[in-house]
A and B are shown apart, each in its own frame.
Chain A
């Protein structure tokens, strides 16, 4: 398909939002669980919404609420945010050729709106329409749809948590455990990721009493090192098999 897929900025914007619809449905429960967790945490409800509005990166928001509950310090929370969100740089590097010639305000806006979901949508879109002149409007439509959706479901969760304040004493933080398991398990089919998770979990438990959440940081570093080592070992095995 070489012809421009959408003729006006508005139709391109609408198409971006529409093609993100499955992602909106998928993100909704996570937004609501985040809002509920924030409402039953030491954060004020408006701070929960402020986090969704200004940070707009789901997994780091979950982790921050979890770290607050575990009495982590500011630097640990900021460093964890940095590490967890670093993957967005890879997304940006992948999409850069398509946005490099836009005005600066567009590049700031599209960068801010980048999420796992919008990256997936845009990666598919640009591979189908590499030369689309209105692709940035499509990008904006996808990003704004995710943003509005995330704000709305955060608010629903905050209201839910405010109506049922005793959710905390029921052990609602288990909702976070269940959510994380649902994210982790599908990745464990790859051996290096399995090794990385096993090492990180083991050391997180063994080192859990270190101060300033240093145990968490050490466990992540050890897990990543194990993942890299297993990848390298497997690559070596493959080369040997090819030689044999």
Chain B
């Protein structure tokens, strides 16, 4: 059983250190250009790496490439809606509606 308070305090220390270091130390920290460029890819890769297994294998076992997988169906709809409209909130609302609708309307 993990100590979640310790986890949160550690996250806060790490984050405050990152956010305040440059302002507090001034110009004594310099980023190499390659690191700057690499950091630009971090958000998109972390977020994708988290959700892909959740969508393709929602029960943690094998691949569920089937229309009976509501995560997969709703995720595909979300990608299409977001690509077509570029509206974040609309994407989330439509994806959740498809997800719950698929579970309780189509599959039952």
Check if B31 is an interface residue, CB within 8 A of chain A: yes
Which of B38, B47, B70, B79 interacts with A224 by CB under 8 Å?
A: B38
B92 to chain A, nearest CB (A): 5
The CA-CA distance from A50 to B52 in the complex, in Å, is 29
8 Å CB interface, A69-99 against B:
73-74, 77-78, 80-90, 92-93, 95-96, 99
Chain B interface SS verdict (over half): helix
Chain A interface SS verdict (over half): helix
**Residues B8 and A181 in contact, CB atoms below 8 Å apart:** no
Known contacts being A174-B99, A178-B99, is A88 close to B50, with CB within 8 Å?
no
**Residues A205 and B53 in contact, CB atoms below 8 Å apart:** yes
8 Å CB interface, B35-89 against A:
36-57, 70-71, 74-75, 78-79, 82-83, 86, 88-89
Check if B107 is an interface residue, CB within 8 A of chain A: no
Residues of A within 8 A of B27 (CB): 96, 100
Check if B106 is an interface residue, CB within 8 A of chain A: no
Which of A59, A114, A202 interacts with B19 by CB under 8 Å?
A: A114
Residues of A within 8 A of B92 (CB): 29, 33, 175, 178-179, 182
**Residues A204 and B8 in contact, CB atoms below 8 Å apart:** no
Check if A130 is an interface residue, CB within 8 A of chain B: no
**Residues A186 and B95 in contact, CB atoms below 8 Å apart:** no
Check if A39 is an interface residue, CB within 8 A of chain B: no
Check if A51 is an interface residue, CB within 8 A of chain B: yes
Known contacts being A84-B46, A87-B43, is A78 close to B14, with CB within 8 Å?
yes
Interface set of A (CB-CB < 8 Å, partner B) = 26, 29, 33, 42-44, 47, 50-51, 54-57, 59-60, 63-64, 66, 68, 73-74, 77-78, 80-90, 92-93, 95-96, 99-100, 104, 107-108, 110-112, 114, 170-171, 173-188, 192-193, 196-197, 199-205, 208, 216, 219-220, 223-224, 227-228, 231
Interface set of B (CB-CB < 8 Å, partner A) = 2, 4-12, 14-16, 18-24, 26-27, 29, 31, 34, 36-57, 70-71, 74-75, 78-79, 82-83, 86, 88-89, 91-92, 95-96, 99-100, 103
Contacts A/B (CB < 8 Å), 22 sampled: A50-B8, A51-B8, A78-B11, A83-B46, A85-B18, A87-B39, A89-B31, A174-B74, A176-B51, A177-B75, A178-B78, A178-B96, A180-B50, A184-B44, A185-B83, A196-B44, A200-B48, A201-B48, A202-B52, A216-B46, A219-B45, A227-B44
